[in-house]
Every structure is written in C-alpha cells, then in structure tokens.
Amino acid sequence: MHRQTLRGLYDGLSRGDFSSRELTEALLGRIEAHGATLNAFITVTAESALLQADLADKARANGTGGPLNGLPIVHKDLFCTKGVLTTCGSKILGDFVSPYDATVVQRMADAGAVMLGKTNMDEFAMGSSNETSFYGPVTNPWNTKLSPGGSSGGSAAAVAARLVPAATGTDTGGSIRQPAALTGIVGLKPTYGRVSRYGMVAFASSLDQAGVITRSAEDAALLLGVMAGLDKRDSTSADHPVPDYVAGLSKPVKGLKIGVVRQHFDEGLDASCAERVRASLAALEDAGASLVEIDLPSIGLSVPTYYVVAPAECSSNLSRFDGVRFGHRCGDPEDLSDLYCRSRGEGFGAEVKRRIMTGTYVLSAGYYDAYYLKAQKVRQLISRDFKNAFEKVDVIAGPTAPTTAFAIGEKTDDPITMYLNDIYTIGANLAGLPGISVPCGFADGLPVGLQLVGPHFAEETILACAHQYQQLTDWHTEGPEDFA
C-alpha cells in the first residue's frame, strides 16, 4: 500500500481492497520503524488518526465522505491543529497546543483526510536544509548523511520515504520546491493568495504560501482542489474561481510555449543537473511544446532582495513571541525587560535570531530607505520581468535547485552559501507566482528537479504540463531503496 500514490490509494479504498484503518495502521507502522532514522516527525497522532480512519470507513460504507475520504496525510508543524502541538520547529513554541485549526487543516479534514502527525521543519521556516529545527535535522531518504532541503524537509522526507503519500508544506522562498527537488518528489507552491494563510504561523507575510508535497502532479492537483479558495478570515486570500485541477490535467503540451531562462543556466548550476533539466525540456519539446529562450534581467537580484524583505517581515511577525501570552518563558525573571530578553534569547535559535536582527536593522531609522524601500523597488522590477516574459510564453521552466542534495553540516557555517540554494525559486515568491518542482532524473544517484512557473492563478497550466511530463517519463515512480 505504501508504494501507491494518493490517487492509487483512493481507488483501492473505493474498490474495497483495504480499509482506511488498515492503511493507517500500515503507515503508522512505517513511521514508527523509520522515525529515528529520518527524524521527519515532531508529533505522531496515532490514536486520533485511527479514530478518523474508522469514521472514514463508516462514511464510505454509508455512501458518504469527501474527496479525500480515508486518505492519510501529514501537516508541516506550522499549521495550527486543534488540540495538537504546533511548534514551528522552535523551543519557544515547544509546549504550544493550538486551540483551533488552520483553514488548510480544516478543509483537509472536512474532505475526509486522516492526519497522521506533524512534520519537522526549519525553525519558523527559516532555512534551506532542515538543520535549524530545535528538534534536530531531518535526513534525506536517498542518503541519510545528506540534507532533504528545507524548510519543509520533514514533509519531503516523509513522502519520499513512502511513510505517507502526501503532506502539506509552506513556501516563502522555495521551501516546498527545493526539498521536493532534493528528495525526488513533487512540490507545488500556488499563487500568493490562492490558499488561505489563516492559522499558518507567519514568517514573511507577503511571501508565505501554503502548498503540497506529493509523489505525482495528479495528487497535487487533487489536494489543491480541496485547499484552494477564498477564506474571509485571511485578508490576503484571493476571491478567484477554483477550477477542476484534476480534469485539467489532460490538456496536452502540444502548442505550449515554454520559456527557458538564460540566467538560470550559468556557472552556478551543477553541470549534471543542467544536463538532466535540458533533457527534460527536450522531452517536452518532442511532445509538441516549443522552447523559447527568455531573459529575466533582474532575477540575479532576487536573493539579496529576499534577504532584506523576508527578515524585515519576520522581525515584525516574531515580536509576538515574548514569553508573556504563550510559549516558552524564562525562569524567575527579574523584571519585564529580563522576561523579554531571556525568553526570546532562550527560545529562538541562531538562524531566527540572525534574521530578526537583520530585519530590525533594515527597518530602523536611517536605513529604511537604503535597504527595505530599495528592496521593494527591486521586487517590482523582478515582477515586471516575469510579466514581460509571460507575454511571450505560457510557462517558464528551469532547474529547481543549483545542485543535488548536500551533506548535513556542509553549509551551516556559511549562511550566504546556504541562502544561494534558493536562487532559482525565490523569484516566484517575490512576484507571487505559482511554481511546481517535478523529478527529472538523477545526478550521481541523487534526484534532480525541474521547475515550472506560471502566471498568476495558472496552477491548472503548470499542473497539466507537469502531469504530461510524468506521462512521458517515470522518474516520479523511483524511490529510495532503503525505504522500499
């Protein structure tokens, strides 16, 4: 059962090949068996999962139930889940039990999904390797000495190791797509506002977007159809029609204009990764798509722009974690100032502190215009470049990450080198565009990802392109042997 996609499991449940309880028990067994090796989970909700599975089986017997009835999923541990720990991978929220569900969690539950637990992540989603988590690093199922990427590394590792068929994630600068590429699975970041952020603990509010990590584009389409749509509790939620993403998968790539960004194939891209990405583009061209070379002149400024805008927003968002209302509180504070300083000093990790300090600096008097305001202007230039490109092409394609998975500890001493891992993904976040990473082969035995980016609310187009590519290839069916 664990080798099947979400759609395959749905069909198996519908035929009566197995029950939701049997499926849930089998996957909980795999999570227990491999939990220590991967460290992909912060919380496993076995008891409530079995209760949900029994309810799903009863609903199916009665001819009721939603589109995800009985299907197991997991949530990244920054989605609030009622009655369950929501830690954001941080000591400061180590004992926080949410009193409500995030919209994403609620919509999944309403559709009949069975939640198996909460996955490990970089602290407050700040990181590209899942090494900043208070709960320790997640390991890559393809080689447990390597990083699975981040910040949604726990979700990616769990799906890649076939512990679960699907997981939620969040993407602020590539945190769904990059780990998907490094672990050989599918990662979808929707258009900003396409999926509600209500109940999703904020890192950078103008960049954060909830999405999914799955084994196929078809599974991603199924989940997005449940998650997407207006939520009046989220002021950034878009009032935009939600199409039938699964039905749209059949659209052929013939006639599709695919833009290939010249700037993405530079000396920073590993030669083996470049070879695999170009081979995938050739396969799409053979299927009838046309390849068009395009320029994104300002895309090289995306990393420095992001690392001004995102820390500025995080310094504001994380100011609420002060030891007063909830979360970690220091022992025996001398006064209010001591309470604030020691609670935050003890509760936050080094990377979070680094970004808070950077953000506070760029927002401070005398530096706001020089850094934050200038970064917002450059952000508009990047958005304009994408807009101009989409006047010529339907989809923009290229590598998801500059290299394959790297060793745990390899980049922790050099934050700038770590930040450059998101060089190909950040642009879509700055412009609010949808993007998807799909497996496109291997380099030295490790997965490589192909990224597809579309115009605003063009998830249907990039999902169809990704699905059609997966009909031409079988890279997405490959899995790590140690977790077979």
Catalytic residue IDs: 76, 151, 175
The answer to whether residue 52 scores a pLDDT higher than 90 is: yes
Which residues share a beta bridge with 200? 79
Q: Quickly count: other Cβ atoms within 10 Å of residue 32's Cβ.
A: 13
Whole-number pLDDT of residue 267: 82
Read off the pLDDT of each residue in 50-79 and give the average, rounded to a whole number.
96
How far from 122 is each of 108, 129, 318, CA to CA, in Å? 23, 7, 15
Q: All domains of the chain, ordered by start, with CATH?
A: 6-260+391-483 (3.90.1300.10), 303-376 (no CATH)
pLDDT band at 92 (very low <50, low <70, confident <90, very high): very high
* pLDDT(183) > 90: yes
Q: What CA–CA distance (Å, rounded) separates 189 from 59?
A: 31
Q: Which of 380, 386, 385 is nearest to 435 (CA)?
A: 386
Q: Is residue 414 predicted with pLDDT exceeding 90? A: no
- Percentage of the chain beyond pLDDT 90 is 95
Decide if 446 contacts 142 (C-beta within 8 A): yes
Q: 3-class DSSP state for residue 463?
A: helix
Closest Cα partner for 2 from 141, 136, 120?
Answer: 141
- Write down the pLDDT at residue 432: 98
Per-residue confidence (pLDDT) for residue 365, from 0 to 100: 86
Mean pLDDT score, 422-445:
97
What pLDDT is recorded for position 418? 86
The answer to whether residue 67 scores a pLDDT higher than 90 is yes
pLDDT confidence bin for 416, thresholds 50/70/90 = confident
Q: What is the pLDDT of residue 413?
A: 82
How big is the chain by its Cα radius of gyration, in Å?
A: 21
Tokens of 157: 């590792």
- pLDDT, one tens digit per residue, over 225-282 is 999 999 999 999 999 999 999 999 999 999 999 999 999 998 889 999 999 999 999 9
d(CA 49, CA 70): 10
* pLDDT tens per residue, range 304-331: 999 999 999 999 999 999 999 889 999 9
Q: What pLDDT digit, counting tens, does each position of 378-396 carry? A: 999 999 999 999 999 999 9
pTM, 2 dp: 0.96
DSSP H or E segment with residue 134: none
